[in-house]
Structure 1
Amino acid sequence: MTRMIFVNLPVTDLARSEAFYEALGFTKNPQFSDDGSACMVVSETIHVMLLTHAKWKSFTSRQIAPAHSSEVLLALSCDSRDAVDAMNSAAAKHDGTADINPAQDLGFMYNRNFADPDGHVWEAMYMDMSTMPTD
């Protein structure tokens, strides 16, 4: 069986978060969604579970990190530099914050960071291993 990852994120406004992630190209899987959660499919093996605060609290008693903090940086590969730029632009146009850190261009690797409406940090990145330095 292929391993899958389900990234669980607490959100303040489920509908707003669904719209944000749909704008990034993720699709909703209604089979694993309800009034307190939305399963957003990134790929066959990667899913983002958006959980209302009430639903989140049913899984853990640990506090939700404030939106201005960074509890994790989620890196997601893209097919090209243009796709990195497009994801960052889509985030900015749909209640997210673009370029929360400076863009990084190492030649073989290019990335830009954005935050979703709840402050969760994502890194859209592209790597061209054929141009990676060998030294």
Structure 2
Amino acid sequence: MTVDDEKVDQMLYRRILERSDLVDRVIGFRMAQDALAYLRLADRDPVDVILLDVNMPQMNGFEFLEHAVAELGDDFVNGVVIMLTTSLNPEDRARALQFDVVRDCLDKPLRRENLSAIAEMLKQGPTTSTTK
């Protein structure tokens, strides 16, 4: 799952992910609220990776995580959350990593070489999604 308000970034992520042969399906959302609504669906496909933009309008990545954990509990994602940012503020990275479910905070844009590290994280299994 990709959650990023930037249309160009969404297209880039989809292209990188589909060409990697590491994924079966990419689900993209430009608004965090829409991604949260999808995660609330009882009959949705499982989500093993969420690539989550930090800075988005209406609901940012941190607010998305807070809502997902509060509403859906520890099982809102059965894998890995990677936050993506253009921020140079080290406090944003520190805040992202305060969420147990967040496995890394990467600079945007996502690059193909990031995928092998994400695949390794998936092999290690999910973490819990409560905040510290």
More helix, by proportion: 2
The alignment's TM-score, normalised by the length of structure 1, stands at 0.30
Structure with max Cα Rg: 1
